[in-house]
């Protein structure tokens, strides 16, 4: 006949308990032993008599001095008959009112082969009895022995040593870390006036003093406060206990801020707050620790109190609301961060004038930033992202109002255009400031490398500042070159080649050796490739301070040769070989030669043409009728001075002159 009832599989039950071997979980068996001690003390002395309790934790080490296990001893009620029976039951309900799940002690067998238990308790005749046994997978009371106690003291000790290596290697490396983790885990007990005394003794260091957890907590709390909140979808209220503690009391060796959701007096889940608060070490020495408790959380913790049976949305709602209370508590520190953010916004506005309007309202803008955005780069990125989003939002709002003929379309239009004006002014200011920086770089590029030898940077350095070498307008955007340094009109040419061989720019007849520094073709919106009248511009750079020009080696003859090759070819091509435009004998050319006007260059100018000096400048020009080409020669210094003069009014208006 079949026997009824459940058939228990002890090993299977323990195997199915989830406890991965990691830094967080390795210390959970100690938490369970301490929690059992607190319950035993409360059972003996009552809820108001916790101050009578004593819990001593001994940290054991192996031969190498590494932590290998622990003993937790208390003066609680002990393993009397009822408690021993509860110990032998899976999922015991004896401590249900205290939040006990009847499972925690099974974690001991996840990290070790056994737990050695010694206990003294009052027997039925009120005499003190003592027992000892091994708590194992096969038998929870293996080798049980009981006798009359010779000491008369009531209490229990639980020894778990050694841990299995996979868990032992993940135990904290310092006694202080054990203390900090215990404080963080049992933070709700540290808020009570009545609490048991908990001490830690490090047996790996005989010289070390015992650590009193409550002394550490109570003496070093900078300040604390409680906040309550409710959620519409949950009937039970929540309480957040907030503490500003020494950073060493953070729950791990990295000293980070944290928020805990707890159940039945114990922390269950930990939520990192560094990125939310924007602070790791508050004021360089403190950490924030928050503990959230509620009857709702008590009733939704899993059996090992390592997680909640709640969906992600519910957890997020609770955590987000608790984070707001944490910010209220840390308002003085947050104000300091906001001021630093505002200062950086002002600094960014000075260097990047497109954020001019943000800088004018720095404090308001700082309030919209995430507290973790504190570096200059992070704030710059966030300002850029916000600017783009605001523009798109305004554009959608305006388009919707206009489409639906809403009553506020006129107001929407005015606001949209006003913001566009602000954005345009900011963008213009950014562009002008960028020009100022480029001028400073260009000026630095003209300085001597070696003052004694008067050897300047070669022309390719300056060339690279004005326009990157070996590139085309197909590869470069408007802001990728600085052709405006030579002539503002060049900045708007729509096709150019930089340091490309001549035979790659025309269909035929060009030298493979010749490589003009810059050739620019005006391809405006109305350009027709058959229109020969559109101008072509050539720019040639020469090494600063060069003074060895001859009639056979000089930039004037050089640009003439380029002009002739372009005309002889009859057609310019793009980088991919496709047609660009036609060139005829009537096509006008402008040639800019950027070279210091040294003695030898002056002689070549006299021999080859009739150059005239521009009024009020050091540049020279000549209409070469034979080649139908306008040639202008200016020194690097003159190019710099002219660019500065053209932009000076803008610099002054922005206050960056």
Contact between 308 and 300 (Cβ < 8 Å): yes
**Residue of 170 and 488 predicted with greater confidence:** 170
Whole-angstrom distance, CA of residue 529 vs CA of residue 521: 11
> Which structure tokens are listed for 592?
């800019």
Dihedral angle of Cα 496, 497, 498, 503, to the nearest 10 degrees:
-160
Q: What is the mean pLDDT of residues 81-102?
A: 64
Rank 107-121, 178-192, 535-549, 639-653 by mean pLDDT and report only the highest: 107-121
> Which structure tokens are listed for 417?
């255009």
Q: What percent of the chain has pLDDT over 70?
A: 77
Range with the poorest average pLDDT among 241-245, 266-270, 354-358, 585-589:
354-358
CA of residue 277 relative to chain centroid, distance:
13
Angle between helices 213-220 and 175-185 (to 10 degrees): 70
pLDDT of residue 499: 83
pLDDT of residue 174: 92
**Residue of 80 and 412 predicted with greater confidence:** 80
pLDDT at 656 over 70: no
pLDDT of residue 382: 85
Range with the poorest average pLDDT among 144-148, 309-313, 346-350, 549-553:
346-350
> Which structure tokens are listed for 470?
């070996």
The number of helix segments (H) and strand segments (E) in the chain equals 20, 25
pLDDT of residue 1: 47
pLDDT of residue 546: 87
The tens digit of pLDDT for each residue in 47-66 reads: 667 889 999 999 999 999 99
The tens digit of pLDDT for each residue in 473-493 reads: 666 655 567 777 888 777 777
Q: Which of 107, 168, 109, 102 is nearest to 134 (CA)?
A: 109
Q: Which of 520, 512, 436 is nearest to 471 (CA)?
A: 520
> Which structure tokens are listed for 447?
């300085």
Contacts of residue 208, Cβ cutoff 8 Å, sequence gap at least 6: 175, 201, 202
Whole-angstrom distance, CA of residue 512 vs CA of residue 500: 10
Q: What is the mean pLDDT of residues 32-43?
A: 92
Long-range Cβ contact pairs of 634-637 (< 8 A, separation 24 or more): 634/592, 634/593, 634/594, 635/594, 635/595, 635/596, 635/597, 636/446, 636/462, 636/544, 636/594, 636/595, 636/596, 637/446, 637/596
The tens digit of pLDDT for each residue in 185-239 reads: 887 677 655 678 999 999 999 899 999 998 888 777 888 899 999 999 899 999 9
pLDDT of residue 381: 86
Burial level of 70, CB count in 10 A (0-12/13-18/19+)? buried
Rank 31-35, 393-397, 437-441 by mean pLDDT and report only the highest: 31-35
> Which structure tokens are listed for 424?
């345009």
pLDDT of residue 453: 45
pLDDT of residue 57: 97
> Which structure tokens are listed for 44?
């003996």
**CB environment 562-572: b (16+ within 10 A), e (fewer):** bbebbbebbeb
pLDDT of residue 425: 55
pLDDT at 285 over 80: no
**Residue of 9 and 274 predicted with greater confidence:** 274
Contact between 184 and 41 (Cβ < 8 Å): no
pLDDT of residue 399: 55
- The count of C-alpha atoms lying within 13 angstroms of the C-alpha of 222, restricted to the half-sphere facing its C-beta, is 17
Q: What is the DSSP letter of 506?
A: B
Contacts of residue 489, Cβ cutoff 8 Å, sequence gap at least 6: none
Q: Mean of the per-residue pLDDT values for the chain?
A: 81
């Amino acid at each position: 006949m079949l026997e009824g009832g459940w058939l228990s599989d002890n090993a299977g039950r323990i195997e199915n308990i989830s406890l991965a071997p990691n830094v967080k979980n390795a210390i959970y068996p100690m938490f369970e032993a301490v929690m059992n001690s607190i319950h035993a003390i409360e059972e003996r002395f009552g809820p108001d008599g916790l101050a009578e309790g004593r819990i001593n934790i001994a940290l054991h080490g192996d031969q190498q001095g590494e932590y290998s296990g622990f003993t937790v001893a208390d003066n609680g009620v002990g393993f009397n008959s009822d408690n021993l029976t509860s110990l032998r039951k899976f999922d015991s309900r004896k401590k249900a009112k205290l939040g006990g799940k009847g499972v925690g002690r099974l974690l001991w067998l996840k990290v070790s082969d056994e737990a050695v238990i010694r206990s003294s308790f009052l027997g039925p005749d009120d005499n003190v009895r003592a027992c000892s046994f091994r708590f194992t997978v096969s038998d929870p009371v293996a080798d049980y022995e009981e006798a009359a106690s010779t000491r008369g003291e009531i209490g229990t000790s639980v020894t778990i040593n050694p841990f299995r290596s996979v868990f032992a290697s993940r135990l904290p490396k310092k006694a202080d870390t054990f203390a900090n983790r215990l404080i963080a885990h049992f933070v709700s007990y540290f808020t009570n006036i009545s609490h048991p005394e908990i001490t830690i003794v490090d047996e790996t260091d005989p010289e070390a003093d015992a650590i009193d957890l409550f002394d550490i907590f109570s003496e070093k709390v900078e300040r604390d406060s409680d906040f309550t909140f409710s959620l519409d979808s949950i009937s039970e209220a929540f309480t957040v206990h907030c503490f500003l503690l020494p950073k060493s009391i953070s729950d791990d060796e990295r000293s980070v801020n944290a928020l805990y959701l707890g159940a039945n007096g114990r922390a269950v889940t930990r939520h990192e707050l560094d990125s939310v608060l924007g602070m790791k070490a508050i004021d360089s020495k403190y950490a924030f620790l928050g503990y959230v408790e509620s009857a709702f959380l008590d009733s939704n913790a899993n059996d090992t109190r390592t997680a909640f049976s709640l969906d992600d949305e519910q957890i997020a709602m609770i955590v987000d609301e608790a984070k707001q209370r944490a910010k209220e508590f840390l308002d003085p520190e947050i104000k300091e961060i906001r001021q630093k953010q505002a200062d950086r916004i002002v600094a960014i506005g000075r260097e990047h004038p497109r954020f001019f309007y943000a800088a004018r309202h720095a404090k308001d803008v700082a309030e919209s930033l995430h507290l973790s955005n504190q570096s200059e780069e992070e704030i710059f990125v966030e300002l850029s992202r916000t600017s783009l989003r605001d523009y798109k939002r305004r554009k959608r709002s305006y388009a919707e109002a206009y489409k639906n003929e809403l009553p506020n379309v006129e107001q929407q239009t005015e606001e949209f255009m006003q913001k566009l004006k602000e954005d345009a002014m900011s963008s213009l200011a950014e562009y002008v400031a960028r020009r100022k920086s480029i001028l400073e770089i260009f000026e630095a590029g003209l300085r001597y490398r070696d003052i004694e030898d008067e050897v300047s940077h070669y022309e390719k350095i300056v060339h690279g500042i004005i326009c990157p070498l070996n590139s085309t307008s197909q590869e470069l955007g408007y802001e990728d070159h600085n052709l405006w340094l030579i002539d503002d009109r060049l900045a708007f040419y729509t096709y150019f080649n930089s340091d490309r061989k001549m035979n790659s720019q025309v269909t035929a007849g060009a030298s493979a050796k010749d490589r003009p520094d810059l050739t620019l073709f005006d391809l405006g919106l109305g350009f027709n490739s058959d229109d020969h009248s559109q101008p072509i511009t050539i720019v040639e750079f020469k090494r600063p301070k060069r003074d060895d020009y001859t009639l056979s080696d000089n930039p004037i003859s050089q640009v003439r040769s380029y002009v002739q090759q372009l005309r002889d070819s009859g057609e310019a091509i793009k980088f991919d070989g496709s047609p660009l435009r036609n060139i005829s004998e009537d096509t006008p050319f402008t040639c800019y030669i950027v070279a210091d006007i040294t003695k030898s260059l002056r002689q070549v100018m006299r021999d080859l043409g009739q150059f005239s000096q521009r009024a009020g400048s050091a540049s020279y020009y000549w209409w070469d009728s034979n080649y139908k080409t306008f040639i202008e020669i200016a020194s690097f210094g003159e190019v710099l001075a002219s660019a500065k003069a053209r932009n000076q009014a803008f610099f002054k208006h922005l206050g960056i002159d």
